[in-house]
Structure 1
């Protein structure tokens, strides 16, 4: 008897993306009760390209017949500057999922995945278009940059109907006797038609310091380590925009955006509303004795222009407002500009610069300092970042 073998394929893909970064003021610690900072020159990984990080991955598909396929993705993140693993040292920290897909009924996937916010709103922001993490909102407070993925998640994605698609995701908390603890769920919908693209999504994370941030500094979390130079510590603070909200019981993110293409230009706007609810919970440390909630709103206006087939320019303005737990929150304004030049279909050189100014009181109860996402925060209320890099895709 002859055995039947289904048609299948596996694709290897990736990006290598180091860049050279200048920061005019990067925190070095504290002296005499004051934050200190100096100029910083470094080589980092994927801070400013549209590919946002070096990685390699495997995608597989097997035809099961009847229009049904088995699919999988395993995606590793690494630092091209030093060869270390990204995402807190996880082997496949970017994505790791398997599932079933049908053109008529959609697909179901299980594993480590992005939320609906990444699927429908992030593509409208400059972080995925030309700016990389430098273009994400301060400290990526709303996860528009996809800093945090969802573990142990189940996601359903619909087929595309007349330009409309949607998905829903549920990440299991895995805590015995408490179904809701550490769980994350999201829903989103998007539309693409002609020059118009629209997206809206909502994410609800219980105990976000664990479920979203992984409770480790290397995973981008709001942890004790990120409180850095409080008290007698001498190390630099991390994530000052949101680190003080580690004790929140829930983090709720609503995002919406749209773009419109006019000739060689694309105009876009993205709005997010991020609420840290139930401050004083058990998710993480609460050194300031916060209670209640803090709401952070963010508006991004952006434009991209294709000067020539190989040349793209971009500019954006972002305004961020943190109400703060005592209505004494911070304000952040950032202007970002960038240029990309394609040497080939696979190789891209780029330069991106950003200026951010902060005011008010940040989540650490201090005078707000500028904090361009993915880099060392400033010791002052202003920060200038300038980067140049090269990315090769395979």
Structure 2
């Protein structure tokens, strides 16, 4: 009897490595603070606001080892407003990310579901808003999605393994419509990292973004609603010692734009219709780690806006300046202060786009200037 028990135990010990190893992680971020905006419509406002340096969220991610360097992976990530408890991203349960897929050490990963596009995956990290600063530092109206204003539904994504610092990938998002090209999206990007150097570039195109509720970029999730959206750009960061400096260029082109998720429909006013809307953003940013627990950062963005309207072509210039200081109370909790100033200069055509608007404020300014200041507490778990 003892021999039989011992044999069964030995078989169990020998066989145990054959069972798949799996893990599931629960994580989250809570970002809450007080904002002051000098001009929201026609007056200043002080408000409690959630999710600026990072969007407030909680999520689950996990993997199962299938053997031979192959894993099954998944991620479900929720976005929420701390002050009201409401779901963000159009009220979705897992509005930030929701995907499942396979990952190989040798061949990379393929995932399916609601995901980030290649601009977010590769290019955004070279900007202040897509890296360490967040919402208030986004380019005007987040016209290039480097602040991740929208995700892409119905998406297949490929991400390569690391080839001595070089990585690439792409996405394709189905329209899920009988008209195959209606509200579809595709993007691709790449990056090279070596020591303190990071270089990245990306391209994205979407047909009829913001049209309907079943396509790649749905009406309740879009930044711009248009006949076509094209975004491309590149950026570079370099870290030396305690300092990081960066430059990013993005080019956004919208055909027949009618609305914007931040300010609603219509984009134009007084009967003015927009045929095309273009942005070129030139960003310089820097961050200095004064101590392991404390950093300061700054950003300047020069934006060339061009829109062809029924009343003529107009080319305003937008200047955005941001400052931030962040202090870690622990490994998981920090406090930060931010300030952002925006000025619109140049000609106008009675469009709401003529007024200053810092993403994160309640509405555009009634003038060509807007200032926002924020002090906040962030906790990660």
TM-score using structure 1 length: 0.85
In structure 2, do the counterparts of structure 1 residues 171 and 340 end up closer, same or farther at CA, with 3 Å as the change threshold? same
Identify the residue that residue 374 of structure 2 maps to in structure 1: 387
Identify the residue that residue 313 of structure 1 maps to in structure 2: 296
Tell me the CA shift for residue 294 of structure 1.
2.6
Provide the aligned C-alpha RMSD in A.
2.2
What is the alpha-carbon distance in structure 2 between the residues aligned to residue 279 and residue 316 of structure 1? 28
What is the alpha-carbon distance in structure 2 between the residues aligned to residue 82 and residue 38 of structure 1? 23
Work out whether 1:215 is the aligned partner of 2:206. no
Tell me the CA shift for residue 290 of structure 1.
4.0
Tell me the CA shift for residue 88 of structure 1.
1.2
In structure 2, do the counterparts of structure 1 residues 151 and 356 end up closer, same or farther at CA, with 3 Å as the change threshold? same
Q: Of 94, 97, 100, which residue of structure 2 is paired with 1:98? A: 100
TM-score using structure 2 length: 0.88
What is the alpha-carbon distance in structure 1 between the residues aligned to residue 372 and residue 274 of structure 2? 35
Identify the residue that residue 259 of structure 1 maps to in structure 2: 237
Which piece of structure 1 moves more, 68-77 or 284-293? Answer: 284-293
Offset from partner CA, 1:152-183 (integer Å, 9 cap, x none): 0000110010100000100001111x211110
Q: Of 334, 337, 340, which residue of structure 2 is paired with 1:348? A: 334
In structure 2, do the counterparts of structure 1 residues 346 and 104 end up closer, same or farther at CA, with 3 Å as the change threshold? same
Offset from partner CA, 1:54-75 (integer Å, 9 cap, x none): 1000001001111110000000
In structure 2, do the counterparts of structure 1 residues 300 and 363 end up closer, same or farther at CA, with 3 Å as the change threshold? farther
Identify the residue that residue 78 of structure 1 maps to in structure 2: 80
Identify the residue that residue 302 of structure 1 maps to in structure 2: 285
Identify the residue that residue 153 of structure 2 maps to in structure 1: 151
Partner-residue secondary structure (3-state), 1:270: strand
Q: Of 28, 32, 37, which residue of structure 2 is paired with 1:23? A: 37
Partner-residue secondary structure (3-state), 2:131: helix
The aligned length equals: 353
Tell me the CA shift for residue 279 of structure 1.
5.5
What is the alpha-carbon distance in structure 2 between the residues aligned to residue 129 and residue 67 of structure 1? 30
Q: Answer whether contact 1:324 1:362 (CA < 8 A) is retained.
A: no
Work out whether 1:9 is the aligned partner of 2:9. no
Partner-residue secondary structure (3-state), 1:43: strand
Identify the residue that residue 50 of structure 2 maps to in structure 1: 45
Tell me the CA shift for residue 338 of structure 1.
0.4
What is the alpha-carbon distance in structure 1 between the residues aligned to residue 349 and residue 194 of structure 2? 40
What is the alpha-carbon distance in structure 1 between the residues aligned to residue 93 and residue 348 of structure 2? 34
Q: Answer whether contact 1:359 1:367 (CA < 8 A) is retained.
A: no
Q: Of 48, 60, 66, which residue of structure 2 is paired with 1:58? A: 60
Q: Answer whether contact 1:257 1:270 (CA < 8 A) is retained.
A: yes
Bigger-Rg structure (1/2): 2
Partner-residue secondary structure (3-state), 2:190: strand
Tell me the CA shift for residue 128 of structure 1.
3.2
What is the alpha-carbon distance in structure 1 between the residues aligned to residue 208 and residue 142 of structure 2? 18
What is the alpha-carbon distance in structure 2 between the residues aligned to residue 161 and residue 124 of structure 1? 20
Tell me the CA shift for residue 289 of structure 1.
6.4
What is the alpha-carbon distance in structure 2 between the residues aligned to residue 213 and residue 138 of structure 1? 19
What is the alpha-carbon distance in structure 1 between the residues aligned to residue 222 and residue 353 of structure 2? 22
Tell me the CA shift for residue 6 of structure 1.
1.5
Partner-residue secondary structure (3-state), 2:133: helix
Gaps of 5+ in 2: 1-10, 260-264
What is the alpha-carbon distance in structure 1 between the residues aligned to residue 274 and residue 375 of structure 2? 42
Offset from partner CA, 1:189-237 (integer Å, 9 cap, x none): 0011011001000000000223565223xx3544xxxxxxxxxxxxxxx
Gaps of 5+ in 1: 28-36, 223-245
